Amino acid sequence: MSFESELQKYEKEIKLKDGSSCKLRPLRKEDEKGFHEFFLAVPEAERMFIKHRVTEPQVIRDWCRNVDLGRNLPLLAFIGGKIIGDATLHQQLGGWKRHIGRVSVLVHPQYRGRGLARALVTEIADMARNLGLEKVEAEFIGEQEAAIKMFALLGFSNLLRLKDYVKDMQAGSHDYVLMGLDLKTDEEYAGMG
Ligand SMILES: CC(C)(COP(=O)(O)OP(=O)(O)OC[C@H]1O[C@@H](n2cnc3c(N)ncnc32)[C@H](O)[C@@H]1OP(=O)(O)O)[C@@H](O)C(=O)NCCC(=O)NCCS
């Protein structure tokens, strides 16, 4: 069975810290409206953390109509049919960085502090490991302190920080931070001893 059809069947139920349960599954074509609403719930000040113009319906439409999970794998979290979180695994599929996946994560403001980002990133890192990737990285602007702290708690280390390296949509400069995690398998660790 192909990787894509295998992933289309993936569905998982997880429990959050407050006891509520939430469903995880990859993005589908029919999520266009819900995914757009999810991004609209992000406060404007925080949208500069996101690389794309996600409030524009066309951007989300393109993503939903051209789902290619082998390249971009958005793992969505749902409560009662509403999208409350997303962690995406981006892959290069060739070139120098073909063994490195990139992870991004966003949690709906009303559902933060319940362990959802931690669960989503852990799940995405497991998927990356199962896909045979060797490392995952995550990119931030310097002000994303909560996210940087959370990735550090999950074992990511700081790889570099470049001062005033990136620009937001209003052309303001920000530090660029790159973090990374090695995805060693248990067998590889066992072999090291
Ligand atoms: C960063 C973000 C993803 C965290 O989501 P979340 O679901 O609230 O995070 P969790 O509840 O899983 O928290 C995990 C850990 O991070 C830490 N953390 C989360 N939010 C924090 C905050 N605002 N300040 C300090 N620490 C924080 C907590 O200590 C928590 O550790 P614990 O489980 O030991 O208590 C969320 O705030 C967000 O979407 N921010 C905007 C987008 C962003 O910055 N994305 C990252 C770019 S890749």
All domains of the chain, ordered by start, with CATH? Answer: 3-192 (3.40.630.30)
Out of 150, 174, 179, mutate this one to test ligand 1's pocket (max ligand atoms within 8 Å of CB): namely 150
Indicate if the pLDDT at residue 22 is higher than 90: yes
* Residue 88 Cβ < 6 Å to ligand 1: no
DSSP string for 127-187 = HHHHTT--EEEEEEETT-HHHHHHHHHTT-EEEEEEEEEEE-TT--EEEEEEEEEE---HH
Where do runs of H (alpha helix) occur along 14-167? Answer: 32-40, 44-47, 57-65, 116-130, 145-153
- Higher pLDDT, residue 7 or 189: 7
Average pLDDT value for residue range 63-79: 95
> Does residue 46's CB lie within 6 angstroms of at least one atom of ligand 1?
yes
The yes-or-no verdict on residue 102 having pLDDT over 70 is: yes
| Structure confidence at residue 4 (pLDDT) | 73
Task: Determine how many CB atoms are found less than 10 A away from the CB of residue 125.
Answer: 21
Higher pLDDT, 51 or 92: 92
- When pLDDT is cut at 50, 70 and 90, the band that residue 192 belongs to is low
CA-to-CA dists, residue 67 to 4, 26, 119, 175, angstroms? 10, 10, 23, 31
Give, using CA atoms, the residue closest to atom 17 of ligand 1: 150
- What distance in angstroms lies between residue 147's CA and the mean position of ligand 1's atoms? 5
Please state the pTM of the whole predicted model: 0.92
Q: Mean pLDDT throughout 102-114?
A: 97
Q: What pLDDT, on the 0 to 100 scale, is given for residue 11?
A: 95
99: number of Cβ within 10 Å: 12
